[in-house]
Structure 1
Amino acid sequence: MQAILLTGTGAPDVLVAGDVPAPTPGPGEILLRTEAIPVLFPETMLRSGAFPLPVEFPIVFGTQAAGVIIAVGAGVDAALIGQRVLVGSNTFGTYAEKVVVPADIATRIPDAVSSVDAAAVGMSGSVALRLLEAAKLTGTETILVEAAATGIGAYLTQLAKEYGAARVIATAGGPEKAEQARGFGADTVIDHLDPEWPQRLRESLDGATLDVVFDSIGGESALALLDLMTPLRGRMLGYGFLSGAAAQVTTMDLIMRGLTFVGCSGPDWLAGVAAARGEALERVAAGSISPLVDRVLPLDQAAHAHQLLADRAAKGTIVLQPVISHS
């Protein structure tokens, strides 16, 4: 079968299409014929070497996929065969025509939701739901959503007022993405490509403060935001670092301002995100989440997809689709 091999860490060209043996489900596992494979920003970080990968190269890359169950291992109900599901993998292997994963991590895709839309929403929509629950918005608060035009930020912006945000301020990169963020429900949009964007944000607040910051940019800008937050009850939820570095915030920075920083990562956090996949997909079926698909590319263009993300050229999730084969 065709798969995308990570041959080492580095630029997108370390992703190479190749032929590998099709996997076979063992006890408690399912075999999925993939129909839609999302290209996720954390995958680009892993590919680049930003985080150490304790693996021997080459490996079949990828962490999520949507598709049809075509076989099951011992102990798994055969009635699952033919169902469309969304799966995640902690051991990679999803950039492929067929994927084996434990049956208990599969989330059924509602009939009204396409596999492409399920792949697009699976991670980002689930993270957004968990972030909004963790924020505990009160219905009166002003929030900041960074990178609100795409990915997690876009779903946060779509859902924020339902979850209790009174005013949604967003950042986005450039006029086109700013307009997209407004369409998702942002009341005010700041261009974070402007190096002085925290100052532009201060001006837009006009003396008001931020009660909640959903921080996906990290780096030095996170520190600059602390003086714009509401003393004693302001909280920053850190879940990404588009800047290339985690939020440069110390405990003393928080203590002196009476603020809270919530780190949204780690095994327990990720387990909660995985548990939210079903709700995210049901919201797509119900129309309360609009999936963001930038484009659909053949599986063998995975390296190109990673380059597009590196260039910040995508306005939604890039989805890979295998060419149908009989291997």
Structure 2
Amino acid sequence: MKAIVMTGVGGPEVLVPREVPEPRPGAGDVVIRAAAIPVLFAETRLRSGEYPLPVEPPFLFGFQAVGTVTEVGADVDAGLIGQRVAMATMGFGAYAEYVCAPATSVTPLPDGLSATDAAAVLMGGSVALTLLDTARLTGSETVLIEAAATGVGAALTQLAKNSGAARIIATAGGPAKIAHARKLGADEVIDHTDPSWPTHLHETLTSTTLDVVFDSIGGPTAAALLDTVTPLHGRILSYGFLSGTPAQISAADLIPRGLTLTGCAGPHWLTRVAQSRPAALNLAAAGTLIPQIDSILPLDEAATAHHLLESRTPLGTVILTPTQA
């Protein structure tokens, strides 16, 4: 079969198409014939060496895939064969025509939801739902959603109103993404490519404050937002660091203001995200969560897909499709 092998740590060029043996399921495993493979921003960080590798290169790359079950291992219900499912790997192996992963990672696709649409909401939708559940919105909150035009931010922007946000202030990078964030449901949008964007946020808020901050940028700007957050009740959910570093906030910053910061990462958090996958797919099938797809590329063009993500230009998920699918 054809697959994408990460030959070493580096730029997108280390992702190389190769012919490799088809995977065989071990006990508790499922093999799917892949139809759609989402390209995730976290994968670009893994490939570049910023995140720890699951195994040493060379290895088959990729986190998630959507397709049809073709084979199951021992102790797995044979009734899964022929079903359309989404699956998450153990950190490698998804950029391929056939993908093997534990049966516990498999989520059936709702009727009427295409493989590409499922791939587009699988990560962003499940993370957004977990963030909203953690935020416990009551219906009166003003929220800030950073990087609201793509990925998790796009799903958050679509779902926040239904989850209780009274006012959604978003950030996005550049005119096209600003317009897209507004289309997704943001009430106001600030350009976070402007280094002084926290000042613009102060001006946008006027006499109000932020009850919840969904922080995906991190870095030094996180501290610049603290005085815009509602004293005693404000909460910051930190789930990403597009700036390159986590939010640079200490307990000494939070305690005098009575604020909380929740770190949305680690194995327990990821377990909750995995549990949200069925709900995310069902919302997409119902039309409540609209899949945002930027482009669909052949599997061979995985390196091109990574170039696209690192350019920060896509307005939605970039998806790879094997030619046989």
**What range describes the TM-score normalised by the shorter chain of this pair?**
over 0.9
- Cα distance per residue 1:200-228 (max 9 Å; x no partner): 01000012110100000011111101111
Shift of 1:52: 2.3
Q: How far, CA to CA, are the matches of 2:126 and 2:104 in structure 1?
A: 17
Question: Aligned to 2:220, what secondary structure does the other structure show?
Answer: helix
Question: Aligned to 1:44, what secondary structure does the other structure show?
Answer: helix
Shift of 1:54: 5.0
Shift of 1:308: 0.5
Amino acid across the alignment from 1:225: L
- Cα distance per residue 1:257-302 (max 9 Å; x no partner): 1110000000011011011110000001111100011010000100
Question: Aligned to 1:243, what secondary structure does the other structure show?
Answer: coil
Could you tell me which residue of structure 2 aligns to residue 142 of structure 1? Answer: 142
Could you tell me which residue of structure 2 aligns to residue 11 of structure 1? Answer: 11
Shift of 1:89: 1.2
Could you tell me which residue of structure 2 aligns to residue 222 of structure 1? Answer: 222
- Cα distance per residue 1:140-186 (max 9 Å; x no partner): 11000001111110110111111111100000111111111111111
- Cα distance per residue 1:87-139 (max 9 Å; x no partner): 00123100011011111210001121000010110011000000000001121
CA contact (8 A) 2:7 2:57 kept: yes
Could you tell me which residue of structure 2 aligns to residue 284 of structure 1? Answer: 284
Amino acid across the alignment from 1:103: A
Amino acid across the alignment from 1:236: I
Shift of 1:75: 2.0
Which residues of 2 match residues 69-148 of structure 1 at below 5 A? 69-148=69-148
Q: How far, CA to CA, are the matches of 2:59 and 2:236 in structure 1?
A: 36
Could you tell me which residue of structure 1 aligns to residue 65 of structure 2? Answer: 65
Could you tell me which residue of structure 2 aligns to residue 322 of structure 1? Answer: 322
CA contact (8 A) 2:90 2:101 kept: no
Which residues of 2 match residues 133-282 of structure 1 at below 5 A? 133-282=133-282
Question: Aligned to 1:118, what secondary structure does the other structure show?
Answer: helix
Question: Aligned to 2:245, what secondary structure does the other structure show?
Answer: coil
CA 1:13–1:160 in structure 2 vs 1: closer, same or farther (change >3 Å)?
same
Question: Aligned to 1:160, what secondary structure does the other structure show?
Answer: helix
Amino acid across the alignment from 1:163: S
Question: Aligned to 1:162, what secondary structure does the other structure show?
Answer: helix
Q: How far, CA to CA, are the matches of 1:7 and 1:226 in structure 2?
A: 43
Q: CA RMSD in A?
A: 1.0
State the identity as a percent.
Answer: 60
Could you tell me which residue of structure 2 aligns to residue 42 of structure 1? Answer: 42
Amino acid across the alignment from 1:81: I
- Cα distance per residue 1:223-262 (max 9 Å; x no partner): 1011111111111000001111111111111112111000
Amino acid across the alignment from 1:67: G
Amino acid across the alignment from 1:15: L
- Cα distance per residue 1:29-76 (max 9 Å; x no partner): 111100000000111111111122252210000000000001111222
Question: Aligned to 2:257, what secondary structure does the other structure show?
Answer: coil
Q: How far, CA to CA, are the matches of 1:225 and 1:8 in structure 2?
A: 38
Amino acid across the alignment from 1:188: E
Question: Aligned to 1:5, what secondary structure does the other structure show?
Answer: strand
Q: Unaligned 5+ residue runs, structure 2?
A: none
Q: Unaligned 5+ residue runs, structure 1?
A: none
Question: Aligned to 1:219, what secondary structure does the other structure show?
Answer: coil
Q: How far, CA to CA, are the matches of 2:129 and 2:238 in structure 1?
A: 14
Runs of 4+ in 1 over 4 A off after TM superposition: none
Q: How far, CA to CA, are the matches of 2:151 and 2:31 in structure 1?
A: 28
Amino acid across the alignment from 1:159: L
Question: Aligned to 1:237, what secondary structure does the other structure show?
Answer: strand
Amino acid across the alignment from 1:263: G
Amino acid across the alignment from 1:19: E
Paired residues in the alignment total: 325
Q: How far, CA to CA, are the matches of 2:93 and 2:304 in structure 1?
A: 18
Question: Aligned to 2:116, what secondary structure does the other structure show?
Answer: helix
Amino acid across the alignment from 2:163: Y
Could you tell me which residue of structure 1 aligns to residue 305 of structure 2? Answer: 305
Q: TM-score, normalised by structure 2?
A: 0.98
Question: Aligned to 1:123, what secondary structure does the other structure show?
Answer: helix
